[in-house]
Structure 1
């Protein structure tokens, strides 16, 4: 049940409270930030100038909020909002500290080593070192052993702390003693007539030294005050939790540990930022004192939170408490919490899928998912082309590069292949997008890329449901590429797409990370795919073709080629693969496609080569592919560092746009 109660203080300020009922306890919670002065009775002041609802600074034309007046901090440049003339009539609630000139500040700021009152009265009469999270009242002194004594007993010549920490030179030496008192050698202030009166008044006996008297001074006997408080049926306020605090929820009483309070008193327990209560996932818990003088539930402690982890579009996280196995939000995980996660479809975990929160830190790196790469799919129905079974969608990284550069009309023709390295980056051959004579890059507007294609034709209705098309935003060709003038060395390029492809069964990237750590064995079988010519003189293929060819060593391949051709094109950045005298090879239209090999452990396909050049011959004034010989592929390993840097730059620019 929720009910609104309104309380008006004086004639100036009305404050509304929200009343709540918890198991028969009706109370008015006092909710406030202890660093901000709410619930103050402010004295209405005559506005000056044109300051309608604020406070007009005295000597300058500056207006500030009335909430900023007499709060210990000068908000007026001339300091006129923090003067005794303005603040002296202000009434401070009991839980706030009253500066000498009238301002109200949080009681926690008393003796914290920082000037919070403009007259520094909050730091007057404090010990040298302020205690943090003290269990004592602001008018008390906390001994080193945690005992609380009256603040006036500190440095008075008598050890009132059981551990005598209230009468030390470190604490007392620098305090000021008025002229009518006597300052002990270690700093304490005692009666002015204590010097050489035959009675020990200084804890170190310095008041009786060098007095010319041989009789030992009398040591006075003092009894500690007896606590006669009736505690029957009352609850004892608990110590403040480490890295947390508790407050009285139903009154303005100071939050002091070790005091006895009446039944029906309710305290509100909270933790500091970065910590969570051990008994709840909420930011605070209300605990009432019930009959019999006990708190209704145990006082929780504060546990350190692990960094928050949230689910994303590619990652779903779940957190469970170690003991209860209850599900909790992963931004409220504490010691022992177990986090598990699952990746979205077409994504996979980059590491093991469990994390444990321990002492405010996860035991492993933040969970993340990467796109699945290099998986050959066999889920679509088979299509029979020229008597050979070909699986549509088998090579989901295969991309088609279309161009209208040489067309009089706006007709796009499949000119090359490519391979998806990500959903917006395509790897291809440089000669597909730049002049094969001098290496000049053609404008990106001439090109489009398609993924999820099985048929050759642009916008073919037969694969329109799976195909995705994108214009090319940027073409990056290796800076050393000069076409035939430099023997097609550095024949490699990456394309940045204008749109991001959606992952699907037939659209996924090929693997390339870690390619430098994979050593190919001679005669390892790789696969190249494309829509190139199916024979040396025929037209291009209507549907995607695959060709399985062996990787060959340099000497074997060199013997297949003419000496002149090998010297010119078989450069150090090329690898050789194919057959000799078997009527099988890559041909025109296959350029830019990937030569992939299956990883021996993960069985994923990695791109090792990009279709570059192959031997040809002339017949009837036409150039034909020499399908009796192997072909040359640009080695991805050679350009891996270049490739990584370009992908990073293109992806970063995409993220910042």
Structure 2
């Protein structure tokens, strides 16, 4: 009898142990059968320990489930159904909220997509990019939001942008939604800290990189300052700011003043991106030569010279600087030349190459020429008369040389508005000049321009062109093709509106008629074309760190 009772006791123990592998023991000691009943939104332990955040924090909910604030998963259909399905009532919060009702400390998730009972709601901003889907649609963990989020110190930035504590790295659980906290490379490094410098490093701030050249930076590792241009060890903290004459590329970068190299060789956040503070004229640069005060240079104006079969480079056209490595001009000036035939000069006051008076002039070679794909010169009435020249070496932006702005939305011209044009061959009262002149000229309506032109010249007027000028003896003239016409907007910056293309000639001559309007290429029509090439060109100067795209808020390139 005793033996039978002992065997029954052993059988009971075995059954309990077997069940304990799939069941849950409450803190009170109560046995909860079925592990699937833990973190389901219903407190089934007497003490509620099956719904505590300690157990539910790491729960991953399927897409069709809503995640309670403390981690439990309930069917999404139960969200805002008037019944408490999460023990913390989080499934019944923010129901019926509209976007304009979100407080400054909240994040707007959006419509739940239910046509029969549409609602919108908000979550606390602290829940953004925390590796948990707090919005029904996962908007709070979306890559486009999280990739710009700032992770605090003592955290790890997942590849998609979310932030987790460093203490949970390589703990066998995917705390990052993309699993990057459990990557093999990262875990090998963490197991062998001394091997880190041989296995991984963050991209350096190489000086050939446009992103780097725009930054003032300081790199500190273990209390020591190290060169930022070398491979950067994990744990290195870099502080940075935009150099003079530059500003943060977008509003999201306004507070981006430090970064940290993480254990897996990635930066904690995106590197600060700066752009030239375009279109601004300096307060004035004293230009005195031989006791004679010269006109101020225009920082974005450039001159094009040809060196083909001549002893000294010859001036041919004007151009306008739009980024550190690119000037824009008209296609008819450069389409027949090779890049090595051309030279670009900026900061000059005279048309003669290396004039002694041009003590501020800087000289550049050309790497490549990009003529608009449908330009056909005079055979197509000079349509799409626009080209980009990539410089062999990027310019240094300062008070003397700086780019003009280009507005992505600047696709129309305003009649009678005054624009400013810079030219080296300006005619004033029938007197030609070979030095820099800056003039204000009005933009002329299409109808008024057509009425003034001869029937033979009207064929050059199209939707890609506009007219400007006084038609009173003052005009840009031969050699000024490619020069830019800018408009000063309400923000105080100058934006490139047009490029000198063609003008009528005096009868029986090859010389311009200063009593006629000049025709300009309308830059706004070609902004997307310009941006595509700028992105391609800038990638040459941005290895490893960034593609430095041109899309940003009201952006100038």
Normalised to the residue count of structure 1, the TM-score between the two structures is: 0.46
CA displacement at 1:404 relative to structure 2: 2.1
Give, in angstroms, the shift of residue 609 of structure 1. Answer: 0.5
Count of aligned pairs between the two proteins? 341
CA distance in 1, matches of 2:432, 2:342: 22
Q: How does 1:476-491 map to 2 (within 5 A)?
A: 476-491=370-385
Q: Identify the residue that residue 102 of structure 2 maps to in structure 1.
A: none
Q: Which residue is 1:598 aligned to?
A: 488
1:607 to 491, 496, 514: 496
Over residues 587-640 of structure 1, what are the superposed CA-to-partner deviations in whole Å (9 max), with x where a residue is unaligned?
Answer: 0111101010111x2121011101000011145xx4221101110000011222
Rounded Cα–Cα distance in structure 2 between residues aligned with 1:592 and 1:315: 32
Tell me how far apart the structure 2 counterparts of residues 653 and 579 of structure 1 sit (CA, whole Å). Answer: 42
Matched, 1:494 2:398: no
How far has the Cα of 1:125 moved from its partner? 9.1
The range that moved more, 374-383 or 419-428, is 374-383
Q: Does 1:354 align with 2:258?
A: no
In structure 1, the gaps of 5 or more residues are 1-123, 130-141, 148-160, 172-242, 244-269, 278-307, 319-330, 334-338, 358-363, 435-440
- Look up the SS of the partner of 2:456 in the other structure: helix
Q: 5+ residue gaps in structure 2?
A: 1-16, 37-129, 131-153, 158-163, 168-201, 206-211, 219-233, 259-268, 545-557
- What pairs up with 1:20-59 in 2 under 5 angstroms? none
1:395-437 deviations in Å (ceiling 9; x for gaps): 20011101023x4x33101111100110111100111102xxx
Q: Which structure has greater helix proportion?
A: 2
In the other structure, the counterpart of 2:423 is 530
Largest Rg, 1 or 2: 1
Counterpart Cα distance in 2 of 1:355 and 1:309: 18
| Counterpart for residue 89 of structure 2 | none
Change (3 A) 1:127 1:460: farther
**CA distance 1:310–1:528, shift in 2 (3 Å):** same
Partner of 2:361: 467
**Secondary structure at the counterpart of residue 485 of structure 2:** strand
- 1:374 is matched with 279
- Is 1:548 matched up with 2:446? no
- Looking at structure 2, the residues matched to 126 and 462 of structure 1 have their Cα atoms a distance apart, in angstroms, of 94
How many angstroms does 1:128 deviate by?
Answer: 3.9
Structure 2 residue 456 is matched with structure 1 residue 564: yes
Cα distance between partner residues in 2 of 1:498 and 1:315: 21
Q: CA separation of 1:646/1:162 partners in 2, compared to 1, >3 Å: closer, same or farther?
A: same
Task: Find the counterpart in structure 1 of residue 466 from structure 2.
Answer: 575
Alignment-derived partner of residue 518 in structure 2: 631
Name the TM-score, length of structure 2 as normaliser: 0.54
- Contact 1:383–1:391, Cα closer than 8 Å, also in 2: no
CA, structure 1 residues 647+313, in 2 after alignment: closer, same or farther (shift >3 Å)? closer
Over 3 Å counting, the alpha-carbon distance change for 1:390 and 1:579 in structure 2 is farther
Partner of 1:343: 242
Q: Note if contact 1:515-1:608 (Cα within 8 Å) is conserved in structure 2.
A: no
Distance 1:487 1:460, change over 3 A: same
Shift of 1:275: 2.6
Render the CA deviation track for 1:22-49: whole Å, top value 9, x for unaligned. xxxxxxxxxxxxxxxxxxxxxxxxxxxx
> Cα distance, 1:656 vs. partner?
5.5
Q: Please state which structure has a larger fraction of its residues in strand.
A: 1
What is the SS of the residue equivalent to 1:378? coil
Cα distance between partner residues in 2 of 1:169 and 1:535: 94
RMSD: 4.2
**Pair 317,164 (structure 1): closer, same or farther in 2 beyond 3 Å:** farther
- The question of whether the paired residues in 1 share the 8 Å contact of 2:248 and 2:274 is answered with yes
After alignment, is 418-427 or 642-651 more displaced? 642-651
Q: Counterpart of 1:314?
A: 214
Q: Which residue of 2 aligns with 1:444?
A: 339
User: Is 1:162 the equivalent of 2:55?
Assistant: no
| Residue 379 of structure 1: how far off its partner (Å) | 2.1
* 1:218-237 alignment runs, 5 A limit: none
